[in-house]
Structure 1
Amino acid sequence: MKIYISQLNETKVVLPIIEEYDVGIEAVIFASPFILDDKEKYIKEYKDELGNLCDNIEISLHGPYADLIPGSRDKLISQVANYRFEQAYQVAKDLGAKKIVFHNGYAPNTYYEKEWIRNSANFWKDFMKDKDESIAIHIENVLDEDYKWIKALIDEVNNPNLSVCLDIGHINAYSNLSVREWIDGLGNRIGHFHIHNNDASKDSHLGIINGSIDVLEILNYIDSKLNDVSISLEIIDINELKESMKILNNNNFIKKRNKVK
């Protein structure tokens, strides 16, 4: 199971952790539309910040999501989503990223099921037409109350390079179904996970032991049920992230890194 750190802190704060543990990084900076509009400048700056690690670690990218609705019935809105997603894809290519995570963009009770799935499937079929296999595309649940809509989307698009990014914190905050039920319901449609914790009242992005999810139990369940999946730790507080890394290391989910020269 390949593990990434989702970069919710400045690069200089996260780098010592990346240098200590054999993990990749999930860049979040390019989720910003302002960054994407000057992406060449920020790609260079980001590569400079990573230094030698840039060519020695796996990189994932969190795509843009603010105000973007791939399943919109308004063609102008879906065109904007496509424009931003294409920008992110080019960034991923330039960084040599292995994967991109995009939000599903669905808000409950705003669309009829058939309409949303049809609109979303058409969007993703079109987006994936010219994409090669070098970058995996993962669609993330956010406000989704159950897995049925995202499951139907993946099945309808039916592209081996498109899968689910299952965010367990979002499940805990927004769904009445358990994380295990989501995993069982989606099965091998899952290619990536976002791992963080909360107390089920809101999406808090806490460390793995700082909430009501038994994260270690979930990780062991993932390990027993799914092959060839990766995870990103989406933890805001740097001390909680460090604590989580130690726990994962002690439980043999990650190893210390050989020093990069």
Structure 2
Amino acid sequence: MKVYISQLVETEKIKGILEKYDVGLEIVLFASPYCLDRQDEFIENYKEELGDLYGKIDISIHGPFVELCPGTRDELISKVTNYRMQQAYDVAKKMNAKYMVYHNGYYPNTYSYIEWMQNAPTFWQNFLQDKKDDGIKVHIENVFEDDYFILNELMEEIADDKTSMCLDVGHVSAYSKIDVMEWMKILNKYIKHMHIHNNCGDRDSHLGINKGDLDIMEILNLVKDKDITISLEITNLDELEESLEILYKNGFITDRKL
């Protein structure tokens, strides 16, 4: 299991963490269309911010998601979704990223499962068609889905060595009445990446691993021996540092040797 931290606070504030622990960095900057449209400028700026760490740590990219819809019935929206996701993929190639994360984009009660599944697999198959051999993994993430059915169906259609699922356990806690353990059991063979954060089941709080209702250590112990990556999506710097110290003491991460 390889651990990453998500760039949800300023880069300068997490450089010390990246120097201390042998963890990767999941960059969220390029979820912004503004940054995607000026990607070369922002890539260079980000390299400068990372300094000597760039090229020495594993990097991944979280793709854009706001107002994008892979399962849309509208061809124009599908073209915009493809365009933005391709821009982010271009960033991943330029930065030698290990993987990409994209949202599934399904909002319950806006599309029927049947209609979504008529559109979404084709979108992803077309998007991934020319990307099979470049080494960048693609993980599709649950957000507002209230059950695992549609993601299980989607993965049955498109999962392969390159494409798999990102299970966001905080999103399950906030938006689904089905226990995260059942999600993990049903989707087990498709989960190759996880977003790890906690909440109290009422909203998507992105708390430290020991701050909410989820037993994060139980979850991590189930996957620690798997070929899987996880990213801590924790917005509070103190809680992120506390969470990493817990993982360190429990043998999930080690010191970085630069």
State the TM-score, normalizing by the size of structure 1: 0.97
Match of 2:244 in 1: 245
Residue 160 (structure 1) shift = 2.5
Q: Which amino acid aligns with 1:14?
A: I
Contact kept in structure 2, 1:17 and 1:242, CA below 8 Å? yes
Contact kept in structure 1, 2:159 and 2:190, CA below 8 Å? no
Match of 1:256 in 2: 255
Residue 194 (structure 1) shift = 0.1
Residue 133 (structure 1) shift = 4.1
* SS state at 2:220 partner: helix
Gaps spanning 5+ residues in structure 2: where? none
Match of 2:172 in 1: 171
Equivalent-residue separation in structure 2 for 1:105 and 1:168 (angstroms): 16
Q: Which amino acid aligns with 1:79?
A: K
* SS state at 1:14 partner: helix
Match of 2:233 in 1: 234
Q: Does residue 134 of structure 2 align to residue 127 of structure 1?
A: no
Contact kept in structure 2, 1:100 and 1:137, CA below 8 Å? yes
Residue identity (%): 51
Q: Which amino acid aligns with 2:168?
A: D
Equivalent-residue separation in structure 1 for 2:177 and 2:128 (angstroms): 32
Contact kept in structure 2, 1:58 and 1:97, CA below 8 Å? yes
Q: Which amino acid aligns with 1:71?
A: G
Q: Does residue 224 of structure 2 align to residue 211 of structure 1?
A: no
Match of 2:42 in 1: 42
Kindly provide the CA deviation profile for residues 202-260 of structure 1, in whole angstroms up to 9, marking residues without a partner as x.
Answer: 00000000100010111001236xx21110000000000000010000111111111x2
State the TM-score, normalizing by the size of structure 2: 0.98
Match of 2:187 in 1: 186
Match of 2:110 in 1: 110
Contact kept in structure 2, 1:133 and 1:161, CA below 8 Å? no
Q: Which amino acid aligns with 1:11?
A: T
Q: Which amino acid aligns with 1:94?
A: K
Equivalent-residue separation in structure 2 for 1:160 and 1:123 (angstroms): 18
Residue 158 (structure 1) shift = 4.0
Equivalent-residue separation in structure 2 for 1:171 and 1:106 (angstroms): 14
Q: Which amino acid aligns with 2:62?
A: H
RMSD (CA atoms): 0.9
Match of 1:201 in 2: 202
